[in-house]
Amino acid sequence: MGCSDKPGLQPLDAGLDQLLTRITPLEGSETVALTNSLGRITAKAVRAETPVPAWDNSAMDGYALRRADLLADKPLPIQGRSLAGQPYTEPLKPGYCVRVMTGAVLPAGCDAVVMQEEAEVSDDGVVFHKVPEEGNNIRHAGDDCRVGDRLLPEGHRIRPQDLALLASVGCAEVSVRPRLKVALLATGDELRQPGEALNVGDLYDSNRPALYALLERLGVQVHDFGVVADDPDALREVLQQADASCDLIITSGGVSVGEADYTRQVLGELGEIELWKLAIKPGKPLAFGRLNRSWFIGLPGNPVSSLVTFHLVAARAIRRLQGQPDQPLAQLTAVTTDALHKTPGRMDFQRGVWRQTEHGVEVRSSRTQQASHILGSMTEANCYIALEQDRGPVEPGETVTLWLFDGLFAD
């Protein structure tokens, strides 16, 4: 039995399973203009109402011709010109060719396009030195999509290339999920804002700006409730407001055992919350549950822990609420150039810097200090070095799994 089975410590996967099973996607949909749909989640599959391309057209600047006409080995006079947006509508006459530019509609009767570099213009017409293959340089109607084809599935986050695809079929509006409203607040009497002076024991609130930015990247609507003092009445009031106006509440701090008694008490009054001790390092304590009408995720206060638990847990919950398919962080296998401290018992998410070398992917620790208050370990990093629960110390040259967080939100 691994130490992961220690009583009270819950493996990450088990916690995630529980959370993803309980959460159901937000209902409803709204219609938005295509131009406003970037980052939104499709409420239903989008299908093509026109084919793309809509017409057979030329893939090259050149000449549209009938291959059989080349057998006579005579120049083909130019019958007409077809440009993108200025089609030539007559059918191709036997023994002629039509000058075509890229994207131009092809005349009926042609069966290939020869690029201009392979043709010679003479006084008697155009001379072609070899017979092209049938269909050469012809883009066929419906090559990209046909009427009824599914362009995007339901639950898909719209990216720039998706906008292009939808625009290409003339789609002006998209049915999307309502934007998730997420309340964000930080708890702690010690928290000050940049610009304010620090009294003894104070520190600047660094979690809220980071969480705010992460939430924005996920495309949700963030309601910032600021910093709440370690006071049950203050917390109760803010949580009630947040619950009334949002779909999900994310807090930082105040959930570690010991100090959290009043938090637990307030949350207990307002809904059903479980305090989890996840078998991960950093970021052990985490609260999850439901208030009257919103979901609640309480992240730990330590700066690195709050980011790690956001990436590992909150981002997955948000995807689920938004109706997106579940997707953990992308993973990569690498060889570590550093020795890594590790004791069996919890899954470690050490901060690393990976790079591609001629031998493959290498990773090093982003800092020798990996404690959960060392934010610098995170800013230097471009991945987590995920060390399995039961793994012990790691030697240089060993293979490790990386979980990538940069680029995660570019999906």
Residue numbers at the binding site for ligand AMP (CB under 6 A): 186, 188, 190-191, 203, 205-208, 252-254, 256, 259, 300-303
Query: What does residue 271 show for φ and ψ, rounded to 5 degrees?
Result: 180, -155
Measured from each CB, the residue nearest to ligand AMP is 301
Q: How far apart are CA 38 and CA 339, in angstroms?
A: 43
Q: Which does 289 bind (CB under 5 to 8 A by kind): ligand AMP, Mg ion, none?
A: none
**In a 10 Å sphere around its CB, with 0-12 CB exposed, 13-18 middle and 19+ buried, how is residue 1 labelled?**
exposed
* Structure-token pair, residue 189: 């009497």
Interface with Mg ion, residue 285, by CB under 5 A: no
| Other CB atoms within 10 Å distance of the CB of residue 343 | 12
Q: Which of 233, 235, 223 is nearest to 188 (CA)?
A: 235
* 51, 107, 125, 188: residue in contact with Mg ion (rule CB under 5 A): 188
Interface with Mg ion, residue 254, by CB under 5 A: yes
How are the residues of the chain apportioned to helix, strand and coil, as percentages rounded to the nearest 5?
A: 25, 30, 45
Give the three-state DSSP class for 187.
strand
Q: Which of 108, 112, 105 is nearest to 91 (CA)?
A: 108
Nearer to ligand AMP (CB atom), residue 100 or residue 215: 215
Q: How far apart are CA 283 and CA 370, in angstroms?
A: 12
Q: Which does 345 bind (CB under 5 to 8 A by kind): Mg ion, ligand AMP, none?
A: none
CB 329 within 8 A of CB 311: yes
Min. distance of Cβ 186 from ligand AMP in angstroms?
4
Interface with Mg ion, residue 303, by CB under 5 A: no
Interface with Mg ion, residue 125, by CB under 5 A: no
Nearer to ligand AMP (CB atom), residue 174 or residue 260: 260
Q: Which does 208 bind (CB under 5 to 8 A by kind): Mg ion, ligand AMP, none?
A: ligand AMP
DSSP state, 35? Answer: G
Nearer to Mg ion (CB atom), residue 229 or residue 408: 229
Nearer to ligand AMP (CB atom), residue 149 or residue 216: 216
Q: Which does 190 bind (CB under 5 to 8 A by kind): ligand AMP, Mg ion, none?
A: ligand AMP
Give the three-state DSSP class for 203.
strand
Q: Indicate the length of the chain as a whole number.
A: 411
Min. distance of Cβ 232 from Mg ion in angstroms?
13
* Structure-token pair, residue 11: 């493996």
Stretch near Mg ion under the rule CB under 5 A, chosen from 50-58, 165-173, 183-191, 287-295: 183-191
Min. distance of Cβ 185 from ligand AMP in angstroms?
9
Binding site for Mg ion (CB under 5 A): 188, 253-254, 301
